[in-house]
Chains A and B, each alone.
Chain A
Amino acid sequence: MKAIVKISLKDGVLDSQGKATYHTICTMGYDDIVKDIKIDKLINIELGDIDKQVAIKKVEKMCQDMLVNTVIEDYNIDIII
């Protein structure tokens, strides 16, 4: 079992890396098709064989305690069996 945590900056919090990357992509000639770029984090957590609901609960706690800074970040958890 695996948990995939996707972490993004909240709406309204400037993604400076995404913005810098967007501007560079535009200078490469993609400005006609690229409207914006956001850079997220993806954390892959390998889990033992545990109940899916228990896994969600525990990974949720990991996010709240350390993986995510909820002042500036949102997150989403996917459990893959």
Chain B
Amino acid sequence: MSVVIVRFPGTNCEYDTKYAFDILNAKSTIINYDENCLPNDTKLVVLPGGFSYGDYLRSGALAKMSNIMNSIKIFASSGGMVLGICNGFQILTEVGLLPGALKRNDNTHFISKFQHIKVVNNDNKFLQLYKTNELLNIPVAHHDGAYYIDKVGLDSLKKNQQILLRYCDKDGALEVLNGSLEQIAGICNTTKNVFGLMPHPERAMEILLGSDDGKNMLEGLVC
């Protein structure tokens, strides 16, 4: 198992992400956006958080044209696992590996805080170690996190159990955080090998830092 963490100009969570996989004893490597190919032993590609290309044009819009993205598309289409966290999620929607789009938070603020989220579907590798409806407390830090998809797309997400996580309060009642459609915090593709979420599981790996609720997400992908 080798985890490949892709760094774009403006990425700033690559070392936190690598540290998270170190805790899990999973071998990980950081590679740059201008590489042409993924390493041969790649088992999981992670697009970490940050502000790729300064969020110019739209968050993730310029990163999707990077050299490495073609290899990632091929890797994903042949069943390889891809995870996008925050800006990585935005890039995955921009490149079409995940449906929908992330737009500016409804209140126009950058939101940075611990946030409760609820596990909606655990029938996938990413959330396999959680129970359905389990509550997690994981940091969010984003400006463009309001998930949007049209009615047809939303129906399709529900039908295929692609909605993975929703924002909620500490008691599990759905909570409006950023204007995200139906409080969606994370989704996957139809074949359940590409995952995207706005919260940062790599920042919730140990109690010392406030929460270790994110650990099982990354563990699920490498176990």
Please give the residue numbers on chain A whose beta carbons come within 8 Å of chain B beta carbons, in ascending order: 9, 13-14, 16-17, 20, 65-67, 69, 71-72
Which B residues between 90 and 120 are near A, CB-CB below 8 angstroms? 93-94, 100-101, 103-108
Interface size of B as a range: 20 to 34
Contact B101 A16 (CB under 8 A): no
Most B CB contacts (10 A, CB to CB) among A14, A16, A20 go to A16
Q: 25 A-B contacts, Cβ less than 8 Å apart?
A: A9-B103, A13-B148, A14-B146, A16-B104, A16-B105, A16-B106, A16-B107, A16-B108, A16-B146, A17-B104, A20-B108, A65-B65, A66-B57, A66-B62, A66-B64, A66-B65, A67-B57, A69-B58, A69-B94, A69-B101, A71-B100, A71-B101, A71-B150, A72-B101, A72-B103
Closest to A67 in B: B57
List the 6 closest pairs (A to B, CB-CB), nearest first. A71-B101, A72-B101, A20-B108, A16-B104, A16-B108, A16-B106
CB distance from A10 to the nearest CB of B (A): 9
Q: Which residues of A contact B65 (CB under 8 A)?
A: 65-66
One digit per residue, 1 when the CB lies within 8 angstroms of any chain A CB and 0 when it does not, for chain B 52-66 equals: 000001100110110
CB distance from B84 to the nearest CB of A (A): 16
CB distance from A55 to the nearest CB of B (A): 21
CB distance from B184 to the nearest CB of A (A): 14
B80 contacts A by Cβ under 8 Å: no
Q: Which residues of A contact B148 (CB under 8 A)?
A: 13, 71-72
Partner of B103, one of A13, A20, A66: A13
CB distance from B201 to the nearest CB of A (A): 25
Q: Which residues of B contact A65 (CB under 8 A)?
A: 65
Q: Which residues of B contact A69 (CB under 8 A)?
A: 58, 61, 94, 101
